[in-house]
Amino acid sequence: MKNVPMMLPLLALILALAGCGGGGGATSQDVNPPQSTGKSATISFSVLSTARLTAPVQGVQLSAFLPEGVTVATTAGSSTVSSTALITGVGITSSNRQIYGTYSAPIRKVKITVATTEETFRGGEFAKLSVNYPSTINLTANDFASANEPTVPFFQAAGYVVGTGSVDLTGKLRASLGVLFN
């Protein structure tokens, strides 16, 4: 019960999504490119079921830290992650979905929220984040993992069952991240 107030914003996003189509995208005029350039990587965020799920996953929210020197493109004048840098992962197949992210450069923290009305997603990749870093830095997948040890700092997941309502799935899923160096 104590998690209910924390789940309300996520549930509101899921319910609002039911009436949404797609979304606009950022243009080259309203994107702040990351300051560090040279190398790039794609971080994939996934959930893995650790118990039987009573509902499909329809909302995921998490925070993760990035290694020193890694930057994310944001919309000009804000901390909102650019729509070209953050996309839904291959596990979310429904066209009725929303993804939103913020990035705090001083603390190298990214927050991601994904919502879908899809009724079949029970685990897998839900988000991909493109990042850049200077060519003078050599990073490994372990650098990204160790920045988030032992698990991502904040993670919540929810589903929805008709007739029952919102279902907290946080304790039945584990979030993980993988890195592909481009």
Residue pLDDT, tens place only, 29-75: 455 555 545 899 999 999 999 999 999 999 999 999 999 999 999 99
Asked if residues 72 and 129 have their Cβ atoms less than 8 Å apart, the reply is yes
pLDDT of the residue at 162: 87
Query: Lowest-confidence range among 24-28, 40-44, 95-99, 154-158?
Result: 24-28
The domain of 66 spans: 4-20+29-181
pLDDT tops 90 at residue 149: no
CATH number for the domain that contains residue 99: 2.60.40
Region 160-173: mean pLDDT is 92
Q: Under 8 Å CB-to-CB from 48, ≥6 apart: which residues?
A: 123, 173, 174, 176
SS3 27: coil
pLDDT of the residue at 14: 45
Peptide bond into 9 cis (omega under 30): no
Region 165-177: mean pLDDT is 93
Alpha carbon separation from 15 to 11, 52, 60, 132 (Å, rounded)? 6, 24, 14, 34
pLDDT of the residue at 16: 43
* pTM, entire model: 0.79
Question: String of b and e for 42-72 (b: at least 16 CB within 10 Å)?
Answer: ebbbbbeeeeebebbbbbbbbbbbbbebbbb
Q: How far is CA 37 from the centre of its chain?
A: 22
Total structural domains within the chain: 1
| Residue 100's pLDDT band (cuts 50, 70, 90) | very high
